[in-house]
Amino acid sequence: MNFFSKLYYRLRKSWKAVQLYLVIAGPGLVVMIADNDAGGITTYAATGAKYGYNLIWFLLILIPVAYYVQEMTVRLGAVTKRGHAEAIFDGFGAFWGWFSLIDLMIVDWLTLVTEFIGMTAALQIFGVPPWLTVVGVIALMAMIVIHGRYWTWEKIAMLFCALNLIYIPGAFMVHPSVSQIIGDGLIPNFPGGFNGQLFFFLMANIGTTIAPWMLFFQQSSVVDKGLQEKDIPWGKFDTLLGSTLTIVVAIFIVIVTGTVLKGVEIDSASQAAEHLMQSNHYVGTFMAIGLFDAGLLGAICISLASSWAFGEIFGWAHSLNQKIKEAPWFYASYFFTLITAGLIVLIPNAPLVLITLFVQVIAVTLLPAALVFLILLLNDKKHMGIYCNTLSQNLIGGFIVVSIVILSTLYGVSVMFPTLFA
Measuring CA to CA, which residue among 282, 383, 375, 299 is closest to residue 341? 299
How far apart are the C-alpha atoms of 247 and 252, rounded to whole Å? 9
How much of the chain exceeds pLDDT 70, in percent? 86
**Sequence-separated (6 or more) residues with CB below 8 Å from residue 116:** 133, 134, 137, 295, 299, 341, 342, 344, 345
DSSP-derived secondary structure for 96-133: HHHHHHHHHHHHHHHHHHHHHHHHHHHHHTTT--HHHH
Mean pLDDT taken over the chain: 81
> What is the mean pLDDT of the segment spanning 68-85?
87
Say whether pLDDT at 325 is over 60: yes
**Sequence-separated (6 or more) residues with CB below 8 Å from residue 245:** 29, 32, 33, 165
pLDDT of residue 191: 82
> What is the mean pLDDT of the segment spanning 198-220?
81
DSSP-derived secondary structure for 146-185: TT--HHHHHHHHHHHHHHGGGHHHHHHHT---HHHIIIII
CB 65 within 8 A of CB 209: yes
CB 222 within 8 A of CB 11: no
The more confident residue out of 201 and 361 is 201
Quote the pTM value. 0.84
Say whether pLDDT at 136 is over 60: yes
Residue-wise pLDDT for 233-256, tens only, equals: 888 888 898 899 899 999 999 999
pLDDT of residue 99: 80
How far apart are the C-alpha atoms of 95 and 92, rounded to whole Å? 8
> What is the mean pLDDT of the segment spanning 382-404?
85
Measuring CA to CA, which residue among 122, 65, 79 is closest to residue 403? 65
pLDDT of residue 19: 53
The torsion angles phi and psi of 272, rounded to 5 degrees, stand at: -60, -40
Which amino acid is present at 417?
A: F
